[in-house]
Each structure stands twice: as structure tokens, then as C-alpha cells.
Amino acid sequence: MRIIVGMSGASGACLGVRFLRECQRMAIETHLVVSKWAERTLELETEVSMQDLCGLATTFHDGDDLGAPIASGSFRHDGMVVIPCSMKTAGAIANGYSATLLERAADVTIKEGRRLILVARETPLSAIHLENLLKLARIGVTIMPPVPAFYNQPENMNDIVGHFVGRVLDRLGVDNDLVKRWQGLD
Ligand SMILES: Cc1cc2nc3c(=O)[nH]c(=O)nc-3n(C[C@H](O)[C@H](O)[C@H](O)COP(=O)(O)O)c2cc1C
């Protein structure tokens, strides 16, 4: 399996880090592209360096390199996840404004009819944010805000992040042991 992983400058860099870790553990091929502001949030929110992050991916692509393989529809893959996804990046994707490699890869994923998942993070959401996300949802993009579940009784942030990342993998059709699944009431 081959996944494109985009990280943009919304809060929640730890989500992208954990997603890459789990993909590495499951031997899923990942192609990583990181926006400039994702580099900053990674630095501000985690102990993970850019070097460590790149080491979690199979291939790292420079975010300014619009000539990278993932910029082309001829690059075959099984889905793209933007985790986390800022409202700026969601707005760019919703309007086909592909100024960066991350935005171009998402644009191409849509035009080729491949699966795209946006872990869109902002709160509260303005009408502009909601309209952009609705526009994307209507054409089949999965909008998956990093909203925690509580029915699984998480004990710490690791549980919350793990469960959420497992649900993203579910959406990609990847069998995983990260989701504590609801077993019913009895
Ligand atoms: C610490 C920090 C947290 C941020 N959190 C968010 C967020 O949760 N959602 C969002 O849409 N933008 C957030 N931003 C703003 C984006 O980083 C900013 O809009 C940037 O231009 C996004 O560019 P990018 O999408 O190319 O990464 C945050 C910025 C910083 C510095």
C-alpha cells in the first residue's frame, strides 16, 4: 500500500507523527510532504525534529518541488491524508489553488478520483471554513476533524491520538489494532 501524507500548519503535529509511525510499523509506503508552517508547529508542539519526521516516511518530498512525482496524476497511490490540515490548505484545495506541492498533490488526487482525507483542524469554524469543507465533502473528500471519542474511555493523549489515527486508517481500509471498538451495551 502506498499513501501520500501531507502535514500542514494546523495545531496537531503529533497526529501526523503518530500516523507516520503507525504506517512505518505496518510497512505501508508513505510519501511525505510538509508545509513551512507544519515545520513550525512540529517544532512548537512536539519533541520530534524534521530529521526524525523524515525518517518515519519512506520518501520525503520538498514542499516547494512542484516537479516531484506526487505532483503528477501518473503517480499511482492508494490515498492521500492531510494530517493535520489547516483552513488555509483546505481553502486552497477547495478552490484548486495549487501553489505548493502539498496542495498540488491533493488537487491531483481529486482529479484522478483517488481517496483524499483531510484531518481539518480549527475551532470554532467560520462559515468560510464550513463552505470550503462542504464543497470538498460533496465531491467525495473525507473531512475528518480530530475530534476525540470518549466511549472508549481514553486514559491519556496517547490513547486519544492512537484511536483517532486508527479511525483514519480504517477509512483507508487498513486493518489495525489502534481502535478500541464499540462492543455494544452488554
Ligand atoms: C502554533 C500554531 C497553531 C496553529 N493552529 C492552526 C489550526 O489549528 N488551524 C488552522 O487552520 N491554522 C492554524 N494555524 C495557522 C496556520 O499555520 C497558518 O494559517 C498557515 O498559513 C497555514 O499554512 P499551511 O496550510 O500552508 O501550512 C496555526 C499556527 C500556529 C503558529
The pLDDT tens digits of the residues spanning 61-75 come to 999 999 999 999 999
Neighbour tally for 99: CB within 10 Å: 10
Q: Which of 5, 8, 11 to mutate to test the pocket of ligand 1 (most atoms within 8 A of CB)?
A: 11
Looking at the CA of residue 86, tell me the nearest atom of ligand 1: 11
Which protein residue has the closest C-alpha to ligand 1 atom 18? 9
**Cα gap 135→118, rounded to integer Å:** 13
Yes or no: domain 2-171 corresponds to CATH 3.40.50.1950: yes
Contact residues of ligand 1, CB 6 A cut-off: 8-11, 35, 37-38, 40-41, 44, 86-89, 121-122
Model pLDDT for residues 19-76, shown as the tens digit of each residue:
999 999 999 999 999 999 999 999 999 999 999 999 999 999 999 999 999 999 999 9
Which protein residue has the closest C-alpha to ligand 1 atom 14? 10
pTM above 0.95, yes or no: yes
